[in-house]
Amino acid sequence: WVRRALIFLVISCPCALVISIPLSFFGGIGGASSQGILVKGGNYLELLARTKTVVFDKTGTLTRGVFELPPIHTAPGVEEQELLEWAALAECHSNHPIAQSLRRAWGREIDPERVTQVREIPGRGVSVLADGRPVLAGSAALMVQEGLEPMECGAEGTLVHVAAEGRYLGCAVISDRIKDTAPAAIGDLKRRGVRTVMLTGDSQAVGQRVGRKLGLDQVHAQLLPADKVERLEELLEAKPPKTALAYVGDGVNDAPVLSRADVGIAMGAMGSDAAIEAADVVLMDDDPAKLTVAMDIARKCLIIVRENIVFALAVKGLFLILGARGVATMWEAVFADVGVAVIAILN
């Protein structure tokens, strides 16, 4: 009975479970990193595998974030270069892609000392003193807020309205291009039964146009950063039970939403430091198609984990019964312990 008890003890050692399950998650994280996907923990792989709702930001996530500036609409008596100069001065301290495009359109060196008292108005624009004169650049809502009447530009794209010294100067229409891989990425998600939603601060017209081109299930536009959090809360409440929601974004304004989502996914190349810090998963090359790769790796990882659990417990259970009855020898005990662990690791 002492020998039988020792054989039973060897068989019951949980090496296969203790080694194979963490190793499966490490393998999943390593496999994802080889594809340019940084996963900050095994629990996020498990959530990715259960994700059935993906919410996207627009600029820099589904679109390139490289803006073109074709049309300029100026108010009567205003020169195009005058509008661009004031816009470039207003945006000279910003790293946002729209600000960079306005500075490129102006095409001259800007002395930052000309600009003081910079005040960012969340979701609406910026207010500065340029050469001692008050300048505004941002949305139509910002102009209305300051008692100015913005013009109807009648073009598709992001509109930046500009005013200086209390006088409305006009607007610039900035268009962004959809990433080449974005339509295929959305299609792959929908084939996997994943619901796709976009949250953007752009106008309804721009948001709906991008949504139609990509085939998104739902689009919410003209959102301030706080509005995005509210919308995400609604989507979290509406998601199917026992599933997860992922949010994909790249900007500073996305950091609160990334933190609130079940899985926050940031773009690593163009993404802000705040977004990368708040995210649980980082796509290092900004390719939205890598999202489906990450989900496939996560699902494969969980399949292997379940296989190892079932295999280890089944073999252990069988040999424990044989050991208790005195049928199993020490050779079978060693196989049930070390052999099963090795097979699980190889799997």
Q: Enumerate helices (H) and strands (E) in the chain, giving the number of each.
A: 14, 14
2 CB-near residues (< 8 Å, 6+ apart): none
Q: Is 57 a catalytic residue?
A: yes
Alpha helices in the chain (DSSP H): 2-12, 15-34, 42-49, 80-90, 97-106, 140-145, 182-191, 204-214, 225-238, 255-260, 273-278, 290-324, 330-334, 340-346
Q: CA-to-CA distance for 102 and 152, rounded, in angstroms?
A: 20
Alpha helices in 50-180 (DSSP H): 80-90, 97-106, 140-145
Measured CA distances, 145 to 31, 32, 124, 158 (Å): 51, 47, 10, 19
* Residues taking part in catalysis: 57
